[in-house]
Amino acid sequence: MKKARLVFGIALLVYLSYPPFVLADCSDAYSSADNAYSYARSGNNSDDLDDVHYYARKTMYAAEEAMSAAEICGCDNARSYAEDAYDHARKAYRSDDFEEATYYMRKAKSAADDAMSAAQICGN
């Protein structure tokens, strides 16, 4: 009985010492950011503006999911980078110039990579 109380007391102390967001699992944020990265890479490697637009839209959706998941797990840096990825992908999607669109997809890819790294740090 005393041993169970001691274990419970230690667990309670650990929980109170570390807010829940520190103990949060950010694997969903990482996974969504990884998807955004893959789509942005595909868009950056495309040689047709319609394909760039297609991948830009997919990048935007994945970045939105990463933003939401990062917010849930309390990882502000991952959320911020995912938001940057979304903004760059949106600029690519709205661009009618192929060179400009691929430039923004390159920036979206970099921001998504940063979101993955931040989510991984938050998840540890």
Predicted confidence at residue 52, as pLDDT, reads 97
Grouping H, G, I as helix, E, B as strand and the rest as coil, residue 105 is: helix
Predicted confidence at residue 25, as pLDDT, reads 86
pTM, to two decimals: 0.80
What is the torsion angle, in degrees rounded to the nearest 10, for the CA atoms of residue 101, residue 107, residue 112 and residue 117? 170
CB burial of residue 45 (10 Å; 0-12, 13-18, 19+):
middle
The answer to whether the CB of 61 falls within 8 A of the CB of 85 is: no
Share of the chain above pLDDT 70, in %: 81
Q: How far is CA 123 from CA 30, 33, 69, 93, 110, in A?
A: 9, 14, 12, 31, 20
- Give dist(CA 63, CA 56) in Å, integer: 10
Q: Does 100 score more than 60 pLDDT? A: yes
Predicted confidence at residue 40, as pLDDT, reads 97
Q: Does 1 score more than 70 pLDDT? A: no
CA angle 38, 42, 45 (to 5 degrees): 140
Cα radius of gyration rounded to whole Å, the chain: 19
- Give dist(CA 84, CA 46) in Å, integer: 21
Domain boundary assignment for the chain: 26-123
The tokens for 102 are: 């691929």
Q: Does 3 score more than 90 pLDDT? A: no
Query: Which CATH topology does 26-123 take?
Result: Four Helix Bundle (Hemerythrin (Met), subunit A) (1.20.120)
Give the model confidence (pLDDT) of 40-95 as tens digits.
999 999 999 999 999 999 999 999 999 999 999 999 999 999 999 999 999 999 99
Q: Does 7 score more than 80 pLDDT? A: no
Predicted confidence at residue 24, as pLDDT, reads 58
